[in-house]
């Protein structure tokens, strides 16, 4: 079972990792915002935003208890969330590019990963950790390859800047994850009595922002390919979302 750098049961007798649990709320919030603000989009995008909510719920459950079954509720939805995003990135044209085998193949990939992780169990944590990390990173790299192609086609500089912000946020969050994971002794014993900065909690926040932005930008790309004339607007001046031409809003594809 994974145990992160935050000291357990310090802030509460009922919550194992208080800051890691609290920061997981950011995933639920951005997921709910994404579903609400993009409710007119295809079901695939609602599923993508919705899966972020599920990851957030699982993350709270795991970090709040540090129980292995709830660790699975955290990690397994992460794999499926990225698989949904892979589908959205790849099937972004006005026609189906890869046929019915593609979503079936993605589902089988997720199921195989799930079965191996559950088979490993807490008794073989190293196998479970390696399988999860390798399968998750692989699909993240697939998403990154598609994002690179989408970015190369963009002409709107404001959208390009959003992509740049998304990449910078994701890389910073990943750096925080690595520091917390690999340098815990340093973080727990900072000079001058400084507190542990709780970088795993900041990873949650950064990953939430990055996940929301990726879903938003692939919504934009899909709408542009369908000639729905997308544009990005801002809710309260802080939260971007995609608006499309209402004349072309009825799209039958999922």
DSSP the chain: ----SSPTTSS-SS-SSHHHHHHTHHHHHHHHHHHHHTTTS-HHHHHHHHHHHHHHHHHHHHHHH--HHHHHHHHHHHHHHHHHHHHHHHS-SSS-SS-THHHHHHHHHHHHHHHHHHHHTGGGHHHHHHHHHHHHHHHHHHHHHHHHHHHHH---HHHHHHHHHHHHHHHHHHHHHHHHHH-HHHHHT-GGGPPP--HHHHHHHHHHHHHHHHHHHHHHHHHHHTT---EEEEETTTEEEEE--GGG------
What gap in Å lies between CA 17 and CA 2, rounded to an integer?
A: 12
The verdict on whether residue 204 carries a ligand-binding annotation is yes
The verdict on whether residue 200 carries a ligand-binding annotation is yes
The verdict on whether residue 8 carries a ligand-binding annotation is yes
The verdict on whether residue 63 carries a ligand-binding annotation is yes
Binding-site annotation, residues: 4, 6, 8, 17, 63, 200, 204
Binding-site annotation, residues for Zn(2+): 63, 200, 204
Binding-site annotation, residues for Ca(2+): 4, 6, 8, 17
């Amino acid at each position: 079972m994974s145990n992160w750098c935050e000291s357990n049961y310090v802030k509460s007798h009922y919550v194992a990792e208080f800051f890691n649990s609290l920061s997981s709320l950011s995933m639920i919030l951005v997921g709910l915002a994404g579903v609400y603000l993009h409710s007119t989009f295809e079901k695939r995008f609602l599923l993508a935003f919705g899966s972020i909510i599920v990851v957030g719920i699982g993350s709270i459950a795991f970090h709040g208890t540090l129980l292995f079954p709830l660790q699975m509720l955290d990690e397994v939805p992460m794999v499926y969330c990225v698989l949904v995003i892979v589908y959205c990135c790849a099937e972004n044209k006005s026609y189906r590019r890869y046929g019915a085998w593609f979503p079936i193949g993605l589902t089988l990939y997720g199921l195989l990963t799930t079965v191996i992780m559950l088979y490993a169990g807490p008794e073989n944590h190293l196998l479970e950790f390696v399988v999860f990390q390798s399968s998750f990173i692989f699909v993240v790299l697939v998403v990154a390859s598609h994002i690179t192609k989408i970015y190369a086609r963009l002409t709107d500089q404001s959208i390009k800047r959003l992509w740049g912000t998304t990449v910078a946020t994701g890389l910073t969050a990943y750096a925080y994850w690595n520091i917390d994971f690999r340098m815990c002794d340093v973080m727990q014993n900072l000079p001058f009595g400084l507190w542990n900065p709780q970088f795993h909690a900041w990873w949650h926040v950064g990953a939430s922002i990055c996940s929301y932005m990726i879903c938003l930008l692939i919504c934009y790309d899909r709408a542009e390919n369908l000639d729905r004339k997308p544009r990005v607007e801002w809710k309260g001046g802080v939260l971007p979302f995609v608006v499309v031409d209402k004349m072309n809003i009825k799209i039958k594809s999922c």
